[in-house]
Amino acid sequence: MQYNFDWKLVLSGEYLQWIIDGVVVTCQISALSLVLAMAIGTLIAVMRLSGVRPLVWFSAGFTEFFRNTPLLVQIFFWYFGSDAVLPAAVNQWLYKQNFEFAAGVIALAVYTAAFIAEEIRSGIFSIPRTQLEASRACGLTFLQAMRYVVLPQAFRIIVPPLISQALNLFKNSSLCMTIGVMELTYMARQIESYTFHGFEAFTVSTLIYLTISLLVSFSITQYNKYFLRTIKY
């Protein structure tokens, strides 16, 4: 039986609105997760370099655990097991909100934070240690030296890998459809269920992911060129 392509069905009316709504949710969950991941990743990286053994052990364990377990398992863990981990008041508040969305944000943020922490740590290692020592000699505490001297320089160096992590997070957000988050992949699956035109629906969603990914990759390339010119001159 010959397949009848119907692109107009997917790209018009209600189904087009579903695609747009899915893109909006994808961008929202990716942006919130990235902000949290940056904050957590920075904290974990600083703890890893603090020299305080309990903090070093905790940060090392955090990084290794979340980097070496599948993201899908972590999403299911936060969705089904948050009651056993988070305080009751937090769980009650989450259930009053969009619980599926919140669970997805937490899973994506924690998972990505483990990778960002390593990127930040490598960036800190690229800064001469004498800068930290000079900052301490001037009377700054370890945290002040990190905040005002070391981290600003490190972040400038690691912008390309951080953008790559943001891109990975954006693509990983598609896994949140498994817990009912109505992002782009979820909407494409819904269109397929209603119309039996899955090829068109998933082609459109794939092209949207590809377009955004290429734009981010282009941004990384342009930044690298600018950064190299800055160093040269």
Q: What pLDDT digit, counting tens, does each position of 92-127 carry?
A: 777 777 889 999 999 999 999 999 999 999 999 888
CA distance 71 to 81: 15
- The residue ranges of the chain whose pLDDT is under 50 are none
pLDDT value for 35 = 96
Q: Please report the pLDDT score of residue 89 as a whole number.
A: 75
Could you tell me the two tokens for 59? 């940060």
pLDDT given for residue 2 in this prediction? 65
Residue 43's identity, in one-letter code, is L
In a domain, 125, yes or no: yes
Distance CA 150, CA 125 (A): 10
Q: How far apart are CA 10 and CA 2, in angstroms?
A: 19
DSSP state of 12: S
Residue 175 falls inside a structural domain: yes
CATH code (residue 101)? 1.10.3720.10
- The pLDDT, as a whole number, for residue 153 is 87
Q: Is residue 209 part of a domain?
A: yes
- CA 25, 31, 37, 43 torsion-angle sign: negative
- Tell me whether residue 2 is in a domain: no
**201/191 Cα distance (integer angstroms):** 6
Domain residue limits at 42: 7-232
pLDDT of residue 1: 58
Long-range pairs for 31-35: beta carbons < 8 A, 24 or more residues apart: 32/105, 32/109, 33/104, 33/105, 33/108, 33/109, 33/112, 33/169, 33/173, 34/109, 34/112, 34/166, 34/169
- Domain assignment present for 1: no
Residue 76 within a domain:
yes
Question: What is the number of domains present in the chain?
Answer: 1
pLDDT of residue 223: 73
Residue at token pair 């579903």: 18
What would the DSSP string read from start to end of 131-151? HHHHHHHTT--HHHHIIIIIH
Token look-up 């819904």 returns 190
Per-residue tokens: 130:
């004498």
Residue 123 lies in a domain: yes
In a domain, 128, yes or no: yes
